[in-house]
Amino acid sequence: MNVVPDTSVVIDGRVSATIEDGQFEGATISVPEAVVAELEAQANDGLDSGWDGLSELQRLADLADEGRISLEYVGDRPNAIERGHASEGEIDALIRDIAEDLGATFLTSDIVQAEVAQAKGLEVEHVSPEIREVGTLTIEEFFDDQTMSVHLRAGAVPKAKRGELGEMRYEEIADEPLDEETIDEYAREIVDGAKESHDGFIELSEPGMKIVQFRDYRIAIGRPPFSDGIEITAVRPIAQTDIEDYENADELKERLLERQRGVLISGAPGAGKSTFAQAVARFISNNDYAVKTMEKPRDLQVGPEITQYTELAGEMEKTADALLMVRPDYTIYDEVRKTDDFEVFADMRLAGVGMIGVVHATRPIDALQRLVGRVELGMIPQVVDTVVYIEAGEVDTVYDVRTEVKVPAGLTEEDLARPVIQVTDFETGEPDYEIYTFNRQVVTVPLNDEEGGPGSESGVDRIAKQEIEREIRSVARGYVDVDLKSQDKAITYVEEDDISSVIGKGGGRITDIENRLGIDIDVRTHDENPNYGAGSGGSGGGAGGNVAGSQPGEMVTPEITSRHIVIPVDGSHGETVEVQAGGDYLFTATVSRGGEIQVSRGSAIADDLEQAIDRKDPITVVPS
């Protein structure tokens, strides 16, 4: 009897299994060179399927040495063109041709191959891939009731994150380091378990990296050249909560069931965002809402009634298109990080789907600010109307987000009314922030002094001083200092030679500036400033600069072109930042999608920036 196996059944290890069962004992196993070439290519790419197939060939060689079968390699290796069209069935066709030429039984675990071979008149033996019940993985033995994650690396002592939410400790959990052979054995057991168990699947498989979902565990396996050694990181949820366990539970439940909402669940890594998202998902699902998830990787612990989706053809945008056909009431998006994620979140929300996104943020307002520049400002409250900030496993802050046409807090002139996004504390009903456009810049203004501490300027004061300074410096050549006396009055100190330029003929220029800003401005010389020379000196800063200058910043190197000064800002696109020179404030801007700020040459801001560059002042960018 002659048997020709294809690649699928060799990878599955079912050739040796059928021989050991006695079905093909004594047969001649003719392995096509095309199968060997495919396995070799997969192994060279770092794919476990290639190594599994090569291990099966070694088992067949051992069976041949024992005299239980005859083993031969037949046919020619496929050429480059045939290998390039493997996905179109060229290699499969070569293997079928060999079985036909030899009059052999064609052995496969690929149902498509089996159907095609039968249609061509071959004698076919189709064996289904064996799925067995997988017991406990070795890595599970490193976990206890308080372990959130286990970190294994060749040559290092195993470590784990253990403790209560918000009080995690990263500690050693063994006495001796693991050798490479042991950790490689763990990795293969994990991958095999995911393949063989209905409780597991391989989420991602790339050369050097595999992400496996096995029962409650999400396991990442890194190998060279992606990592510099074999590494396994296994994570699992350590708590499962109900929404009733959280503060403001009744109000939140009523809000979620009232209508489909746009919610951002934010917090620092390990704060319990996903745990809260799971509780919300179970609650709204139990209240007769159709709920789906969008995750990469899929690791939320939800019930079987909630379908978990990942990237479709490598794009969450395509997943969103598919979900819009399904029309869920709510979709949990875990995690929203990149610009594309925010755009998909916004598109689905504006299509009428309730959206709950999980976002990394160190302050409650930061989650909302990440939408600025990514979503049109006026649309933000339609995309996100609720922000929930989680800290140490508890609901710390809940914000209500809505738009109102009004004069921004701190300004007085009625003609300065504009659409203002009000961010209100859900519990107290008091507004904490306002977001609006001021002089073509998007600003986020805190409405209390808590962030800056006692004696600090309010956000409104700081913005007002910056804008007054910007306007005066557009017509003054010397140093400008601003002293804000009240919400509608300020004193500006300039060089004596600049007095006439700033005031203008008949006071016309300063009147125009006052009308634009809605603030009365008294113009004086520096000699009249009681604080002159006592902390306000230096070029180009002003009082506003001293506040900003105390913050740490990222050093940047501007590029001067014929029309612009271009400031590169890595990793901050869509964010609002302050640009400083020598620690002194220059201006506020929103970083473009290309990760840069462009300032048109010839403007007052550009002149100041060029002067700072000429003086070799360090140029820094500070989060606003």
The per-residue pLDDT for range 206-240, each reduced to its tens digit, is: 888 898 988 888 899 999 888 998 999 998 876 67
- Of the chain, the percentage scoring pLDDT greater than 90 comes to 31
Structure confidence at residue 454 as a pLDDT band (50, 70, 90)? very low
Q: What is the pLDDT of residue 580?
A: 85
pLDDT tens-place string over residues 316-349: 999 999 999 988 999 999 989 888 999 999 999 9
* Mean pLDDT comparison of 36-45, 170-179, 514-523, 542-551, highest-scoring range: 170-179
Torsion sign (Cα): 284, 286, 292, 293: positive
Entry pTM: 0.58
Which has more pLDDT, 235 or 530?
Answer: 235
- Residues in Cβ contact with 143 at an 8 Å cutoff, skipping those fewer than 6 apart: 150, 160, 234, 236
Overall size of the chain counted in residues: 624
- Of the chain, the percentage scoring pLDDT greater than 70 comes to 88
Question: Kindly report the CA angle at 238 between 234 and 240, in degrees rounded to 5?
Answer: 130
pLDDT tens-place string over residues 603-617: 778 888 888 888 878
pLDDT above 90 (res 279): yes
Whether omega for the bond prior to residue 297 falls within 30 degrees of 0, making it cis, is: yes
State the average pLDDT for the chain.
84
Q: What is the pLDDT of residue 131?
A: 56
- Residue 541 φ then ψ, to 5°: -105, -60
Give CA–CA dist 180/87, Å, rounded: 34
pLDDT above 50 (res 453): no
pLDDT above 80 (res 624): no
Q: What is the pLDDT of residue 538?
A: 38
Token duo for residue 10: 């060799």
Structure confidence at residue 440 as a pLDDT band (50, 70, 90)? low
Structure confidence at residue 458 as a pLDDT band (50, 70, 90)? low
Nearest to 34 by CA among 88, 83, 81, 100: 83
Q: What is the pLDDT of residue 261?
A: 93
pLDDT above 50 (res 535): no
Token duo for residue 512: 């125009």
pLDDT tens-place string over residues 375-384: 888 899 999 9
Within 13 Å and on the Cβ side, how many CA atoms surround 78? 25
Give CA–CA dist 416/13, Å, rounded: 75
pLDDT tens-place string over residues 114-153: 888 899 899 999 887 665 556 788 999 999 988 989 999 9
Domains in the chain and their CATH numbers?
Answer: 2-126 (3.40.50.1010), 138-235 (3.30.450.90), 243-446 (3.40.50.300), 459-543 (3.30.300.20), 551-623 (no CATH)
Q: Is 15 helix (H, G, I), strand (E, B) or coil?
A: helix
Residue 342's alpha-carbon distances to 263, 385, 566, 623, in angstroms, are: 12, 15, 26, 20
